[in-house]
Amino acid sequence: MNNTHALSNRLLTIIWLILVALTIATFSIGEAGLSGKHVMLTLLAIALIKSQIVANYFMDLRNSKLIWRSIMFGYFLIVGGLIWLAYLIGLK
């Protein structure tokens, strides 16, 4: 199955460059010393997008059964959601 849906090396390189750009965005937010719940939400969203990209395109889960993709997406959503909740609690 993997051969049938194999990504081209060109697309893999584009995906890698997207991950690099998102990492630089995270670093820039940190360097600017930005904080607050909107910044936090942005950072979490970037981490979620990056993790999903790695899972779907590098780990090659995008063609896997729904159960496996759900476990992976659910993991990022639950862990990210709880980190978000904890951050909001910390603001009070």
Instruction: Decide: is 9 part of the binding site for other proteins (CB under 8 A).
Output: yes
Give the contacts of 12 (CB within 8 A, at least 6 positions apart). 57
Number of residues forming the site for other proteins (CB under 8 A):
51
Q: Does 3 bind other proteins (CB under 8 A)?
A: yes
Sign of CA dihedral 10, 11, 12, 15: positive
Cα(47)–Cα(26) distance, integer angstroms: 9
Site string for other proteins, 12-51 (x = CB under 8 A): xx-xx--xx--xx-xx-xxx-x-x----x--xx-xx--xx
Closest residue by Cα to residue 61 from 49, 73, 74, 43: 73
Rounded CA separation 58/61 (Å): 8
> Contact positions toward other proteins, by CB under 8 A?
1-3, 6-7, 9, 12-13, 15-16, 19-20, 23-24, 26-27, 29-31, 33, 35, 40, 43-44, 46-47, 50-51, 54-55, 57-61, 63-65, 68, 71, 75-76, 78-80, 82-83, 86-87, 89-90
